[in-house]
Amino acid sequence: MSDKDKALYNFIIKNSDTISERWFNEREYKQGSIYSKDADASVQKRLKEQHMYTIDTIACGFLENKEVFNRKMEQWTEVVVKSRVEFDTPIFEVLEALSRTRRVIWNFVEEYILKHEEIHKQDILRWSSVYHTTLDTLTNQFSRSYYLATRKKLLVQQELIDEINSPIIPVMDDVAVLPLIGLIDEARAESIFETIPGKCAEKNIAHLVIDVSGMNNIDTSVAHKLYQLTDVIRLLGINSIIAGVRPEVAQTAINLGFDLSHLETFSDLKQALRHFGIRR
């Protein structure tokens, strides 16, 4: 590491408060954004700490030992990604903030260069290359990690939605109810088909009462998936009972050519539960 590189690194670190202050002063009012000028005081405090950490990480890019920068970058990415996912910050806002950081820090580097005549053109070109490579690396690392974190969050949310959309409700040791409520589209029907057999096996269910009284619709694809579901769980040794079949639903199933003769059916859930001796 040359003396000039070390001097530039020390200059950035020494002026990090001023750099961060300039960055903060350039913020605009953005409703609901953590980067807004009127963001909550606790949010601004947290953002200030993270921005100081950002400046320190970027400054490390000028160090000869790249392991220091890589270590800092990994730590910075973990902290910032976790924070931005927590606040549900759109990635374009983060990238805009990083772009502003890139410009503000380089403005300070330019001020530093103008004050030191011993800095040559070759130094400036090298610093520019190192600096922008550092920022590109940081941005790419963040984008990659943010994508993985948000994808994981979406998968967890989808699992929760699937659980809410198709809950298995045990009512006796080996009897459970699957209430199907609202609009059942093709995607939800597929989700039910994929998840219910596993849930039944986990809970050691022997009899599954599928309550369709709350369904708003039934078309060819949905009916086909539900029919497949009864076949799959029958192969698992689980008895399917259909409750709440309205006349129009029964007529639709017949018109679509589905043979329900092997299934026990009841007009409502209450009758189905009484079949198992469950009474109020």
Last residue of a domain, one of 135, 163, 191: 163
Residue type present at position 74: E
Q: Are residues 198 and 143 in the same domain?
A: no
Both 139 and 198 in one domain: the answer is: no
The CA radius of gyration of the chain, in Å to the nearest whole number, is 30
CA 92 to centroid of chain Cα atoms: 15
Q: Are residues 47 and 115 in the same domain?
A: yes
Please check whether residue 158 lies inside any domain of the structure.
yes
Residue 144 and residue 10 in one domain? yes
8 and 108 part of one domain: yes
In the DSSP assignment, the letter for residue 67 is H
Residue ranges making up the domain that contains 45: 3-163
Q: Biggest alpha carbon distance in the chain?
A: 94
**Same domain as 40, residue 18:** yes
DSSP secondary structure code for residue 199 in this structure: H
Question: Could you tell me if 84 and 13 lie in one domain?
Answer: yes
pLDDT (0 to 100) of residue 162: 66
pLDDT in tens, 175-222: 999 988 888 888 888 888 888 898 888 889 999 999 888 877 777 778
Position 267 in a domain: yes
Q: Name the percent of the chain lying above pLDDT 70.
A: 93
User: Contact, 149 vs 81, CB < 8 A?
Assistant: yes
141 and 55 assigned to the same domain: yes
Q: Residue 60: how many CB atoms within 10 A of its CB?
A: 22
CATH number at residue 73: 1.10.490.10
246 and 185 both lie in a single domain: yes
Q: Which of 118, 144, 163 is the last residue of a domain?
A: 163
Per-residue model confidence (pLDDT) at position 58: 95
Alpha-carbon distance of 175 to 229, in angstroms, equals 17
Please name every residue paired with 207 in a beta bridge, in sequence order, or none if there are none. Answer: 175, 239
Residue 84 inside a domain? The answer is: yes
The one-character DSSP state at 268 is S
Same domain flag for 97 and 27: yes
Residue 261, strand partner residues? none
Is residue 156 assigned to a domain? yes
Residue 34 has pLDDT above 80, yes or no: yes
Q: What mean pLDDT comes out for the span 18-38?
A: 92
- DSSP assignment of 41-66 equals HHHHHHHHHHHHHHHHHHHGGGSS-H
More confident residue, 178 or 251: 178
Give the sheet arrangement for strand 264-266, strand by strand.
169-170, 175-182, 207-215, 239-243, 264-266
Indicate whether 1 pLDDT > 60.
no
Instruction: Please check whether residues 149 and 174 belong to one and the same domain.
Output: no
Domain final residue, candidates 163, 195, 223: 163
Q: What is the H or E stretch that residue 140 is in?
A: helix 121-165
Residue from 140, 100, 112 nearest 7 by CA:
112
In a domain, 51, yes or no: yes
- Mark whether 55 and 117 lie in a shared domain: yes
Dihedral pair phi/psi, residue 217, rounded to 5°: -155, 165
CA distance 61 to 63: 5
Task: Read off the CATH number of the domain in which 271 is found.
Answer: 3.30.750.24
Token pair listed for 255? 């018109």
Nearest to 213 by CA among 270, 280, 278: 270
Number of domains into which the chain is organized: 2
Q: Does 76 score more than 90 pLDDT? A: yes
Residue 234 lies in a domain: yes
> Please, which contacts does 77-81 make with residues 24 or more away whose CB atoms are closer than 8 Å?
77/138, 77/141, 77/142, 77/145, 78/145, 79/50, 79/53, 80/50, 80/53, 80/54, 80/142, 81/142, 81/145, 81/146, 81/149
Confidence of residue 280 (pLDDT cuts 50, 70, 90): low
| Assigned domain for 280 exists | no
End-to-end alpha-carbon separation of the chain, Å? 81
| Rounded Cα gap, residues 239 and 259, in angstroms | 16
Which 8-state DSSP code applies to residue 169? Answer: E
How far CA 166 is from CA of 170, 176, 180, 192, in Å, comes to: 13, 12, 7, 6
